[in-house]
């Protein structure tokens, strides 16, 4: 029997080992008065949580448990849960405390006016810290380069219509930027203020690897949002600047040789300028190659989403 709401909880690295959070989710979903299912996807071996969920599932048939063969990552766990779900409305919920469970009904109400509703924890309880500053800088960059107003992409509480996830593939770490990809495809995405859970706290520290990954994520999402259909604009711009810098430098060296008698031998500048010219041409050619690939497969690429058809 199909449900109205399917809530998927990917369990990866950070999670609550007890079943209290699952019970809170069950109570909050039951309070909506709709038919629902709560799907916990265990990505790898989580014995303690798995045993607690099994006990809870014996008492509540709306709770389902998916055990993956090994750890595949959060995106894979989320995809597996969505593929096994049956609801017309899909929610993603974190396996740890982020918002007060009863607040998730606000996202369902927002879906009356939009296709995707994402939670924003406000007011934030973490005060002023290095991590809060990092988060603000990260979202400021995202807003500037994508033109979207989102302020809490790190919150895992989201709700969307099934059509949205069928149109937008989830892979790698791009599920974090799912709202941005949805906006790009023309779906209506709204951010909803919800009450932050007092238990929402991260006591660890992020390493250099985390910040490098976030920087790469930003570069990836900028390319996906702005240049996926027109790669020549991205690579052509970089290639043209590189080529122009190399050509100008090379011209300067040639002028010195012809008119001022400066020798070309043993000059690193000659090698550097030649390298920049060749590199600029290669980058530009990469953009052209991307354009050719897109042109060849243009008939298979859908650039729009139909929201409604009357008659």
For residue 175, what pLDDT is reported? Answer: 84
For residue 311, what pLDDT is reported? Answer: 47
The candidate with the shortest Cα–Cα distance to 7, out of 89, 83, 67, 113, is 89
For residue 257, what pLDDT is reported? Answer: 85
Domain boundary among 183, 200, 217: 200
CA 154/CA 152 separation, integer angstroms: 5
Range of the domain at 103: 5-126+149-200
The total of other beta-carbon atoms located within 10 Å of residue 257's CB is 14
The candidate with the shortest Cα–Cα distance to 26, out of 104, 121, 117, 106, is 104
- pLDDT digits (tens), the chain, 311 positions: 689 999 999 999 899 999 999 999 999 999 999 999 999 999 988 999 999 999 999 999 999 999 999 989 898 899 999 999 999 999 999 999 999 999 999 999 999 999 999 999 998 887 777 788 888 988 998 898 888 999 999 999 999 999 999 888 776 677 889 999 899 888 999 999 999 999 998 766 677 877 787 777 778 777 777 777 778 888 888 999 999 999 999 998 889 888 888 887 778 888 899 999 999 999 999 888 888 886 676 556 665 555 555 54
Residues 100 and 44 grouped into a single domain: yes
Tell whether 254 is covered by a domain: yes
Residues 107 and 26 grouped into a single domain: yes
Residues 187 and 239 grouped into a single domain: no
Residues 187 and 250 grouped into a single domain: no
Residues 63 and 194 grouped into a single domain: yes
**Three state DSSP letters for 108-172:** HHHCCCCCEEEEEECCCCCCCCHHHHHHHHHHHHHHHHHCCCCCCCCCCCEEEEHHHHHHCCCCC
Give the number of domains in the chain: 2
Residues 113 and 159 grouped into a single domain: yes
Tell whether 306 is covered by a domain: no
Tell whether 30 is covered by a domain: yes
CATH number at residue 184: 3.90.550.10
Which pTM was predicted?
0.80
Rounded alpha-carbon distances, angstroms, from residue 209 to 114, 121, 149, 171, 219: 36, 26, 27, 20, 15
CA 64/CA 57 separation, integer angstroms: 7
Tell whether 132 is covered by a domain: no
Answer whether 190's CB lies under 8 Å from 112's CB: no
For residue 204, what pLDDT is reported? Answer: 63
């Amino acid at each position: 029997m199909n449900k109205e709401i399917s809530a998927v909880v990917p369990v990866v690295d950070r999670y609550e080992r007890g079943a209290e959070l699952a019970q809170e989710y069950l109570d909050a979903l039951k309070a909506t008065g709709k038919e629902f299912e709560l799907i916990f996807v265990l990505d790898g071996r989580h014995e303690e949580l798995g045993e607690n969920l099994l006990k809870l599932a014996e008492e509540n048939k709306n709770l389902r448990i998916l055990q993956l063969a090994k750890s595949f990552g959060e995106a894979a766990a989320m995809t597996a849960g969505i593929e096994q779900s049956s609801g017309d409305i899909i929610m993603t919920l974190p396996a740890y405390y982020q918002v007060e469970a009863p607040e998730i009904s606000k996202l369902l109400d927002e879906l009356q006016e939009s296709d995707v509703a994402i939670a924003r924890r406000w007011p934030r309880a973490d005060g002023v810290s290095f991590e809060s500053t990092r988060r603000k800088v990260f979202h400021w960059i995202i807003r500037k380069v994508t033109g979207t107003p989102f302020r809490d992409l790190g919150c895992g509480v989201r709700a969307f219509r099934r059509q949205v996830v069928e149109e937008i593939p989830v892979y790698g770490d791009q599920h974090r930027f799912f709202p941005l990809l949805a906006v790009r495809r023309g779906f209506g995405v709204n951010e909803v203020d919800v009450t932050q859970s007092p238990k929402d706290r991260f006591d660890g520290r992020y390493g250099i690897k985390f910040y490098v990954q976030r920087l790469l994520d930003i570069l990836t999402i900028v390319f996906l949002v702005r240049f996926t259909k027109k790669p020549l604009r991205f690579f052509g711009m970089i290639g043209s600047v590189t080529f122009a810098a190399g050509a100008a430098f090379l011209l300067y060296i040639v002028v010195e040789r012809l008119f001022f008698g400066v020798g070309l031998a043993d000059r690193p500048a000659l090698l550097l300028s030649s390298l920049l010219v060749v590199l600029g041409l290669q980058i530009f050619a990469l953009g052209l190659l991307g354009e050719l690939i897109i042109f060849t497969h243009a008939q298979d690429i859908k650039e729009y989403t139909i929201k409604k058809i009357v008659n």
